[in-house]
Amino acid sequence: MSIMMPEADQAVLARRTEIAAALRAIVPGEGVIDSAAEMLAYESDGLTAYRQPPMVVVLPDTTEQVAKVLKYCQQQGIKVVPRGSGTSLSGGALPLADGVLLGLGKFKRIREIDFDNRVVVTEPGVTNLAISQAVAHAGFYYAPDPSSQIACSIGGNVAENSGGVHCLKYGMTTNNVLGCEIVLMSGEILRIGGKSAENAGYDLMGIITGSEGLLGVITEITVRILQKPETARALMVGFAEVEAAGECVAAIIGAGIIPGGMEMMDKPAIHAAEAFVHAGYPLDVEALLIIELDGPQVEVDELIKRVEAIAQGCGSTSCQISTSEAERNLFWAGRKAAFPAVGRISPDYLCMDGTIPRGALPKALARIRELSEKYGLGVANVFHAGDGNLHPLILYDANKPGEIEKAEAFGADILRCCVELGGVLTGEHGVGIEKRDLMPEMFTEIDLNQQQRLKCAFDAEGLLNPGKVFPTLHRCAELGRVHVHAGKLAFPDIPRF
Ligand SMILES: Cc1cc2nc3c(=O)[nH]c(=O)nc-3n(C[C@H](O)[C@H](O)[C@H](O)COP(=O)(O)OP(=O)(O)OC[C@H]3O[C@@H](n4cnc5c(N)ncnc54)[C@H](O)[C@@H]3O)c2cc1C
């Protein structure tokens, strides 16, 4: 994949000082950063292979300030990149050289906890985990739990439609948000949904969720909270073959059992996680399933027996069942730390994110192994197995010439394979810049044009997060007629490290 971004507008860049001064008038105090040294902190997100300092950073802390910043930028024709905590793995929050980076880090307040309606109204900069922590005393929690939950913001979760190990049973972010306040590029403030699950009109919340910062800036979110299940226990099941573990996943779902979470790791991932976290993972297996069953005690006891029997039928070689909350958390600790654990065994890794129908898991794994040999690069596999969401971590060394290009080509082939197997290009990490140029593998030109018409309805000048998600930029007025492949929007390479 070669990553190209819109060419910097030199006229806008020449006005940097003037633009910073205008933003300071809107966001006084320390809300505007334009020193090169301080802006380094914002030059990349979780896709660290790509870096680009922004023209200026603005950190508003009220919706009114966001509205004024966006209105000013629209009037001046300035691009804007929204940013939450900057943990995106697809480059969605990568700045633009001639763009304002609008950070939501100061939106840190939980505005309301409403146990009667089982919702929390929160600002977008609050971390995912902080929402669960805020309601834990009453036995509630917020279900979607990305592994990055200690750091990622709920605004970023909505923008990426993030998932986590418990999304198999409780749904992705889109199933757990009820409403939001969003500021359009024009500065208009739109309120969508609310505390109720039913809303009249188009499902605009569904459109905003997963919109990757291209439609508006989210300044408030209403999320659903759930009561913690009476019991949760986890099984750690080992297999001598990855394919057998894949079959076990399909058999459990096929038996009508929906576990609270069902995750798989292959041998390299198991070894890396065990060395890092010491979770007690068996090291003599090729694949490990962690299966969590939750609900009333009697139901969980019964389900454990059924899952154990299914696993044995699929040839499991070991099975350990958590006997305490501490042990259950330990089983998960290794899985949740799998990405940083792999970071300890390889100088660099590329985390891919594709989805396949569950039944295709063994085929996908076999193909990934073939590709690993073809490219001569190692791979550690971590999956949200129940959802068919793959996270192959491709191991490479950026200091070796040509290795990052090889890793990217390997990753692109994995995603093509997901589409061929009837899956999709992304499970939960978004398209961003990482998968943007692969969008035509999955969508026709008609599909992509229609998606861009939707973008045009929110942001006709294409100023919000341009260069992300869509492989070709079209001018709104001309969509469906002449295709304008840039001209002014020619794409030079962006610096990569
Ligand atoms: C170690 C690690 C583990 C991870 N594990 C998971 C996982 O299990 N599941 C998962 O889904 N993801 C995971 N991720 C990816 C990442 O954490 C999620 O995509 C997360 O939702 C990003 O949130 P953020 O606040 O960091 O957003 P950012 O990275 O700042 O931004 C992400 C995108 O959202 C847009 N955006 C951010 N805030 C707003 C806003 N308020 N309004 C409009 N647009 C906005 C940005 O423009 C960008 O396009 C992981 C990342 C890491 C580094």
Sorting pLDDT into bands at 50, 70 and 90, what band is 479? confident
> Which residue type, as a one-letter code, is found at position 81?
V
The per-residue pLDDT for range 38-72, each reduced to its tens digit, is: 999 999 999 998 999 999 999 999 999 999 999 99
- Residue 207 and residue 453: Cα distance in Å, rounded? 13
What lines the ligand 1 site, CB under 6 Å? 45-46, 81-89, 92-93, 104, 124, 146-148, 152-153, 155-157, 159-160, 162-164, 212-213, 217-218, 339, 428-429, 465
Contact 227, 143 (CB under 8 A): no
Choose among 452, 465, 475: nearest CA to 213.
465
Tell whether 384 is covered by a domain: no
**Higher-scoring residue by pLDDT: 379, 483:** 379
Tell whether 422 is covered by a domain: no
Q: Are 38 and 60 contained in the same domain?
A: yes
Choose among 428, 419, 371: nearest CA to 158.
428
The SS3 call for residue 26 is helix
Choose among 9, 93, 32: nearest CA to 468.
93
**Best of 152, 185, 192 for a ligand 1 pocket test (most atoms within 8 Å of beta carbon):** 152
In sequence order, the 6+-apart residues with CB closer than 8 A to the CB of 453 are 476, 479, 480
DSSP bridge partners of 384 = 389
Q: Are 209 and 118 contained in the same domain?
A: yes
- From the CA of 145, give the closest atom in ligand 1: 8
**Best of 147, 149, 217, 219 for a ligand 1 pocket test (most atoms within 8 Å of beta carbon):** 147
Choose among 211, 154, 205, 189: nearest CA to 65.
189
Q: Are 117 and 23 contained in the same domain?
A: no
- From the CA of 81, give the closest atom in ligand 1: 47
221-244 average pLDDT score = 96
Could you tell me the residue range of the domain that residue 261 belongs to? 230-345
Contact 206, 173 (CB under 8 A): no
E strands in 285-429: 287-295, 316-321, 348-351, 354-355, 379-384, 389-396
Choose among 42, 59, 71: nearest CA to 102.
59
- Residue 61 and residue 368: Cα distance in Å, rounded? 45
Choose among 226, 247, 245, 228: nearest CA to 236.
245
- Residue 185 and residue 261: Cα distance in Å, rounded? 39
Q: Are 216 and 325 contained in the same domain?
A: no
Of all protein residues, whose CA lies closest to atom 9 belonging to ligand 1? 146
Tell whether 280 is covered by a domain: yes
Q: Are 213 and 236 contained in the same domain?
A: no
Distance from Cα 212 to the centre of ligand 1, integer Å: 9
- Counting the structural domains of the chain, the total is 4
Angle, CA 246 vertex, CA 314 and CA 443 arms, to 5°: 155
Tell whether 318 is covered by a domain: yes
Sorting pLDDT into bands at 50, 70 and 90, what band is 1? very low
Q: Are 196 and 245 contained in the same domain?
A: no
Q: Are 64 and 161 contained in the same domain?
A: no
Task: Dig out the tokens for 261 from the structure.
Answer: 């979470």
Of all protein residues, whose CA lies closest to atom 50 belonging to ligand 1? 148
Tell whether 371 is covered by a domain: no
Distance from Cα 156 to the centre of ligand 1, integer Å: 4
Sorting pLDDT into bands at 50, 70 and 90, what band is 200? confident
17-39 average pLDDT score = 96
| CATH classification of the domain holding 50 | 3.30.43.10
Is pLDDT of 462 > 70?
yes
Q: Final residue of a domain: which of 181, 198, 227?
A: 227
Q: Final residue of a domain: which of 50, 85, 103?
A: 103
- Residue 331 and residue 290: Cα distance in Å, rounded? 7
Distance from Cα 98 to the centre of ligand 1, integer Å: 22
**Which burial class, exposed, middle or buried, applies to 478 when counting CB atoms under 10 A from its CB (0-12, 13-18, 19+)?**
exposed
Sorting pLDDT into bands at 50, 70 and 90, what band is 220? very high
Contact 383, 393 (CB under 8 A): no
| CATH classification of the domain holding 123 | 3.30.465.10
Tell whether 183 is covered by a domain: yes
179-198 average pLDDT score = 94
H/E stretch holding 83: strand 79-83
Model pTM?
Answer: 0.93
Distance from Cα 224 to the centre of ligand 1, integer Å: 19
Q: Are 40 and 99 contained in the same domain?
A: yes
The per-residue pLDDT for range 283-339, each reduced to its tens digit, is: 999 999 999 999 999 999 999 999 999 999 999 999 999 999 999 999 999 998 998
- Residue 194 and residue 178: Cα distance in Å, rounded? 6
Number of other CB atoms surrounding residue 150 within 10 Å = 13
Q: Are 221 and 315 contained in the same domain?
A: no
- From the CA of 215, give the closest atom in ligand 1: 43
Residue in the structure block whose two tokens are 């500065």: 187
Q: What is the predicted pLDDT for the residue at 197?
A: 80
DSSP bridge partners of 114 = 119
Q: Are 133 and 90 contained in the same domain?
A: no
Residue in the structure block whose two tokens are 């508006």: 216
> Which residue type, as a one-letter code, is found at position 400?
K
Query: What is the number of alpha carbons within 13 Å of residue 415 lying toward its C-beta?
Result: 30
Is pLDDT of 485 > 60?
no
| CATH classification of the domain holding 334 | 3.30.70.2190
Sorting pLDDT into bands at 50, 70 and 90, what band is 488? very low
Q: Final residue of a domain: which of 345, 376, 398?
A: 345
Contact 142, 120 (CB under 8 A): yes
Q: What is the predicted pLDDT for the residue at 49?
A: 87
Q: How far apart are the first and last CA of the chain?
A: 15
Q: Are 117 and 57 contained in the same domain?
A: no
- From the CA of 88, give the closest atom in ligand 1: 29
Tell whether 287 is covered by a domain: yes
Distance from Cα 155 to the centre of ligand 1, integer Å: 8
Contact 4, 493 (CB under 8 A): yes
Tell whether 144 is covered by a domain: yes
Q: What is the predicted pLDDT for the residue at 54?
A: 97
Q: Are 115 and 99 contained in the same domain?
A: no
Is pLDDT of 37 > 60?
yes
